[in-house]
Amino acid sequence: MTCRCGESNRTPAKHSFRRTVAGTTFTATVDVESCAGCGDVYVPASLMIAFERAVAGELARRGPVSDETFRWIRKAAGIERGELAQILGVTPETIAGWESERRPIDRAAWQLVAAVVLDGIEGPRAVRTRLKVPHRNPSASVGAPIGAEVALELPPGGMIARVLSLLAGPIEFTDADVADALDLDLAALRAQLRELAALGLIGATTATTPNEAERWRPSTRDAAALLQRAAEAGVDLDAPIARASRKDGREAAAQARTPSSTWRATPT
C-alpha cells in the first residue's frame, strides 16, 4: 500500500493506546508499521478493536460498578438499550438513567452485562461462576485504585485469531458455542472452521446429523504457537467472519446444540 506521500516502503514502529474510564487509565503498546517517507503510523482497525475489548474485559472483571463502566461494557457487549431493557423487564429510560447517574446503578444488571462481555472474550462459562467474581463498589479498594494506570496486553484483534485463541483454551467448544460466544453467524463460522481444518490447524468430531454441532480441537493448545502456525500457513488472522443477525443469530446457535452436549476440560 502506498502512503499519501507517495512512499510505499514501511518500517517497524510502536503505537501506544491510552483510555481513561471511571478514573483508571488503561494503556497498551503494540507493534505497527510507519511510512519510511513521512513517518505516518498505520494502526490496523483490529488492534483498536482489541484494545477497546481489553479495556471492557478489565472493567468487567474488576469494576467499579458505576454508570460509566456500565455504559462502556454494555456497548462492548454489543447490546442496545432497548434489547437490554427487554431482557431485564425495565424501560430503556431506566437504563439511560443508570448510565447517567440519574438512577442508582442496578448491580445485578451490571454483573449480567459483565458476564456477557467476558463470555465473548474468554469463552462461555457458567453464569454462577461469573457472578461470584468480586466486582468493586465505587468506594471499595479492591482491584486497581481510582487514578491508577493499568497496562494491558492485547489479545489477538482479528476474528479468526480470536476463534483460534478460544479453541486453544482449556475447554473444548462446539462450533455453536464459539458462534454464540463471539456473536458470529454459525454457517459462516463453520465454513471458516472447515478451511482451518483443511490446513491441519484444527480437527473436529464427526457429527451424526447435518445440523448437529461439532466439537473442535486445535492442533496445539499453545495459543501463540497455533497463531504462528496459522500465519505460516497463509491464514489472514484479521479476516472478518459474518456476525450473527440480531433477529435470529443466537437462536440458530442454540438450536445447533445437542441435548447431551457438555463442555469438557482438557489438559493444558
* CATH number (domain holding residue 127): 1.10.260.40
Question: For residue 253, what pLDDT band results from cuts at 50, 70 and 90?
Answer: very low
Residues facing 34 on adjacent strands: 11, 41
Distance, in Å, from the CA atom of 258 to the CA atom of 68, rounded to the nearest integer, reads: 39
Residues 146 and 229 in one domain: no
Question: For residue 198, what pLDDT band results from cuts at 50, 70 and 90?
Answer: very high
Of 267 and 186, the structure prediction assigns the larger pLDDT to: 186
Query: Would you say 212 and 206 are in contact if contact means Cβ atoms under 8 Å apart?
Result: no
Residues 21 and 79 in one domain: yes
CATH of the domain at 204: 1.10.10.10
Domain residues for 92? 13-151
Q: How far is CA 47 from CA 11, 75, 126, 175, in A?
A: 18, 18, 29, 25
Distance, in Å, from the CA atom of 206 to the CA atom of 216, rounded to the nearest integer, reads: 10
DSSP letters of 143-212? Answer: SSPTT-EEE-PPPP-SHHHHHHHHHTSSB-EEHHHHHHHHTB-HHHHHHHHHHHHHTTSEEEPPPSSTTS
Dihedral Cα 200, 205, 208, 210, nearest 10 deg: -50
- Work out the number of other CB atoms within 10 angstroms of the CB of residue 84: 20
Question: For residue 209, what pLDDT band results from cuts at 50, 70 and 90?
Answer: low
Domain end point (choices 151, 180, 209):
151
Of 255 and 26, the structure prediction assigns the larger pLDDT to: 26
Residues 31 and 133 in one domain: yes
Closest listed residue to residue 16, CA positions, set 4, 6, 26: 26
Total tally of structural domains belonging to the chain: 2
Enumerate residues 6+ apart whose C-beta is below 8 A from 37.
3, 5, 6, 7, 9
Query: Would you say 114 and 135 are in contact if contact means Cβ atoms under 8 Å apart?
Result: yes
- Mean pLDDT comparison of 45-54, 89-98, 200-209, 250-259, highest-scoring range: 89-98
Residue 262 resides in a domain = no
Retrieve residue 160's grid coordinates. Answer: 479468526
Residues 32 and 101 in one domain: yes
Residues 85 and 39 in one domain: yes
Q: What is the pTM assigned to this prediction? A: 0.61
Distance of CA 205 to the CA centre of its chain: 25
Residues 176 and 228 in one domain: yes
Query: Would you say 59 and 162 are in contact if contact means Cβ atoms under 8 Å apart?
Result: no
- 3-state class (DSSP) for residue 66: coil
Question: For residue 28, what pLDDT band results from cuts at 50, 70 and 90?
Answer: very high
Question: For residue 244, what pLDDT band results from cuts at 50, 70 and 90?
Answer: confident
- 3-state class (DSSP) for residue 221: coil
Average pLDDT, the chain: 79
Residue 261 resides in a domain = no
